[in-house]
Structure 1
Amino acid sequence: MSHMLIIGGGLAGGTAAEALRDEGFDGDITVVAAEAHPPYQRPPLSKGYLAGSEGLDAVLLHPAEWYDERGIRLITGVAATSLEPAAHAVELEDGERLTYDAVLLATGATPRMVPLPGHDLPGVMTLRRLDDSDELAAQLREGGKRLVVIGAGWIGMEVAATARGFGNEVAILERDAVPLAMALGAEMGEVFRGLHLEHGVDLRTSVGVDRIVGEGRAEGVVVDGETLAADLVLVGVGASANTALAEEAGLDILNGVLTDEALRTSAADVFAAGDIANAFHPVLQRHLRSEHWANALNAGKVVARSMLGQPASFDDIPYFYTDQYDLGMELSGYAPLMTDAEIVVRGDLDAREFIAFWTDDGRIVAGMNVNVWDVNDKVQSLIRSGARIDPDRLRDPEAPLEDLIP
């Protein structure tokens, strides 16, 4: 009987296991998760789960017994240490050796830690794992704490919003001039700056963090010579793809594990999905790596078909969402094309109820709806159409979006 092996306990790996069964595969499936939890998704860790508005059921894809019921062997708390493509085998850290007919690498990413003096003090955290969110929640939900966030990316901004909701003091330190500028550009980044300032966050941009200080525990962060008092320091400066297993196995690596559009790597019967996969995108005609939730979810479904030898192509438009205070946002689009695009806004930017479109020669390459709902499918259709659209009609709220789709 054939054996499908999945290395990784995140959304991509868990979704792939489910999709294999949904596609009718009745052979053996093994999921190896390095953490001590069944496969889970990460967005709630900095949003609803951290805030306490969502429970563990919103995080876990399925409880452990779900895997038993479907004949899926789930190994938790054990990491894979080596991959041998020629032998079709994987070695685990407990010494077990697993052979496979096809293997999926979905090993995710690891948060970057800034190499500052004091970065290893207790009280200095990153947020990636379920256990990290539990630890943060235990401290932030008490209120009255002083949280310093290093990095104004999505994780940092979401945690800051949640922390303020519990009555904590929050400072965000960012080296760039505008928060989220790398993701959204300066104009849209300013929307989020204003949002956090209105909610009492001490948001400082264009600053340099010198060191983290404390006697036995983090007690402050020195920024441009000034010490900000801190009970807790969260470092949110991005993550690095966990490609070590693939690199040591000799797979092609370039900003992640290189794959074709069917998520096949350079080694036979070895596939990659999720944060580590730099997959060839058939629409862009270039490789594209995304670390967002929808990428892991949808790639898991596609790679399952590919592992079974079925026709498969991962051509989804990258999608992301965030919730901060009373602002909800969805973003669909191609990040590499957004940098030099022109932004057209439909709606009220000041009231934070609008849709922003990134356009290149009249063609929409990305769209972000802020506190405007039930439009994401239409935005994605506009992107897929590749049609040139009159910017005056695009910004006119009286022109229905569906009428703009060719």
Structure 2
Amino acid sequence: MVIEAPFVIIGGGISGVTCAQQLQAVCPDKPVLVISRSPLVKRIGNISCHTQILEHFEVSESQGETWAEEFPNLKVLIGNVDLINADDHMAHLSSGQLVKYKKLCICSGGTPKLIAENHPHVLGIRDTESVQLFQNRLKDASRIILVGNGGIATELVYELEGIQVIWVLKDKSMTATFVDPGAGQFFLHQVNAPKKKETISKRQQFNLSGFQTLTPLSALLSPRKESKETWPLYVELTNGKIYGCDFLVSATGVIPSFPKVLSKVTELKVSPEDVGIMVDKEMRTSVADVFAAGDVCTPAWQRSPLWFQMRLWTQARQMGHHAANCMVASFKNEQGHTWSDFAFEVFAHMTQFFGFKVVLLGLFNGQGLGTDYEVLLRVTKGEEYVKAILKDGKLKGAILIGDTNLEETFENLLLNQMDLSPFKDDLLNPNIDIEDFFD
């Protein structure tokens, strides 16, 4: 049996769902088929735009069939793609089913980089199934070890209650994947603070130790309890210390995921650095009529000096949206037409750590600038942390923690690259409304 659709998407994650929805928005009369390994797909809701680029949204999951019913020509097929025959424009599923396409977009996402593969006491958190497994394991656990220093690890440290958490970091400051040591120190003061929620916090007081000396760093974040005589798992750190735990959470990032999807497509170019599928500025791979978006791909175009890839949900959404527009342009043979996407001009990401709004703009940690740049800081303990990075008098990046209301102005300054040399002494002056100053 052969199923035909002009647009076929592999993957029901953020990039795949966004791509499918945009295709239906642009071409509602053209069938779109999403091939998903899971009956659940990721949904985006409650989208709020804060600047031209910066937006915040919530991610949820729903049954793929229910989601597809919201669109006139969208269908979801549950299955695994084992092979893509680029010559015949055919995707082969493990079930034996064949899917013929005009344009194909690979949005198969990423998989956690686990410390130990297939270990019964080592978990990675990435999708609904892994989250449910984590929650089930927590019910009977008294101590876990958390390895990683990114967003997932930081959120777990903040949210987990009533259980010992040994947080193991390779860096000398917390949340180093996103913020600098100064911001890490700002967050450190919030570990024992009540949660920033309207409800009464029941969070236990924590004890942090060894934060400047251990490599990798270990921090004991929990009320001290009676130790078990034996633990299901023992972990030895490079500092020589050994800890027992019920299980270990490996939150050390992701790698592009396409184990079988493209194993026999020899023309497909893959990045030697991160094994992502290489795409050009129109999200095209090296295989004709095959596109890619999200965590599975690696941008191979000449990038803007103020943008880089971090494999975040925000970027997956941006890439999925852009890929859909490019697929339509290719489908309509709009040769020479380049879809511009403003989102790739400046890196922009909004999240929340320890109850604080966190905005990252441009080269927020001076990425690629070496040591030849200037840093402006404004810090109010427990309220805000503002960092601006300037090079040759121009804003190159910023970290905004708290309700600073600076994101729109800073984004505009990044986009227009205005010389701020005459104004830099007042750039972070809290008594000056810089939004009006640069209006």
In the superposition, the TM-score normalised over structure 1's length comes to 0.82
Q: Which residue of structure 2 aligns with residue 150 of structure 1? A: 147
For 2:140 and 2:355, how far apart are their aligned partners in 1?
Answer: 20
For 2:268 and 2:308, how far apart are their aligned partners in 1?
Answer: 17
Contact 2:122/2:249 (CA < 8 Å) preserved in 1? yes
Letter of the structure 1 residue corresponding to residue 84 of structure 2 = L
Report the alpha carbon displacement of residue 242 of structure 1 after superposing the two structures with TM. Answer: 1.9
Give the alignment partner of residue 234 of structure 2, picking from 220, 230, 234.
220
Aligned pairs for 1:56-71 within 5 A: 58-60=59-61, 64-70=65-71, 71=73
Structure 1 gaps, min length 5: 43-56
For 2:108 and 2:296, how far apart are their aligned partners in 1?
Answer: 7
Contact 1:178/1:189 (CA < 8 Å) preserved in 2? yes
Greater CA drift, 256-265 or 318-327: 318-327
Structure 2 gaps, min length 5: 46-57, 194-204, 219-227
For 1:342 and 1:195, how far apart are their aligned partners in 2?
Answer: 27
1:361 and 2:392 correspond: yes
Report the alpha carbon displacement of residue 278 of structure 1 after superposing the two structures with TM. Answer: 2.0
Aligned pairs for 1:45-194 within 5 A: 58-60=59-61, 64-70=65-71, 71-76=73-78, 78-115=79-116, 120-140=118-138, 145-163=142-160, 166-194=161-189
**Cα distance change, pair 136–401 in 1 and its aligned pair in 2 (3 A):** farther
Q: Which residue of structure 1 aligns with residue 321 of structure 2? A: 301
Q: Larger helix proportion, structure 1 or 2?
A: 1
**Cα distance change, pair 312–39 in 1 and its aligned pair in 2 (3 A):** same
Once the two structures are superposed, what CA deviation does each residue of 1:76-127 show, in whole Å capped at 9, x if it has no partner? 3x22112222221111121211111101111111111124xxx644332111
Contact 2:376/2:388 (CA < 8 Å) preserved in 1? yes
Contact 1:110/1:128 (CA < 8 Å) preserved in 2? yes
Report the alpha carbon displacement of residue 201 of structure 1 after superposing the two structures with TM. Answer: 5.6
Give the alignment partner of residue 207 of structure 1, picking from 202, 205, 215.
215
**Cα distance change, pair 69–284 in 1 and its aligned pair in 2 (3 A):** closer
Q: Which residue of structure 1 aligns with residue 253 of structure 2? A: 238
Please state whether the residue corresponding to 1:184 is helix, strand or coil. Answer: coil
For 2:189 and 2:140, how far apart are their aligned partners in 1?
Answer: 23
Greater CA drift, 64-73 or 123-132: 64-73
Contact 2:180/2:365 (CA < 8 Å) preserved in 1? no
Contact 1:343/1:359 (CA < 8 Å) preserved in 2? yes
In the superposition, the TM-score normalised over structure 2's length comes to 0.77
Please state whether the residue corresponding to 1:355 is helix, strand or coil. Answer: strand
Q: Answer with 1 or 2: which has the greater Rg.
A: 2
| Count of aligned positions | 381
For 1:280 and 1:318, how far apart are their aligned partners in 2?
Answer: 16
Letter of the structure 2 residue corresponding to residue 301 of structure 1 = H
Report the alpha carbon displacement of residue 359 of structure 1 after superposing the two structures with TM. Answer: 2.4
Letter of the structure 1 residue corresponding to residue 249 of structure 2 = L
Q: RMSD of the TM alignment (CA)?
A: 3.2
Report the alpha carbon displacement of residue 307 of structure 1 after superposing the two structures with TM. Answer: 0.4
Q: Which residue of structure 2 aligns with residue 313 of structure 1? A: 340
Q: Which residue of structure 2 aligns with residue 379 of structure 1? A: 410
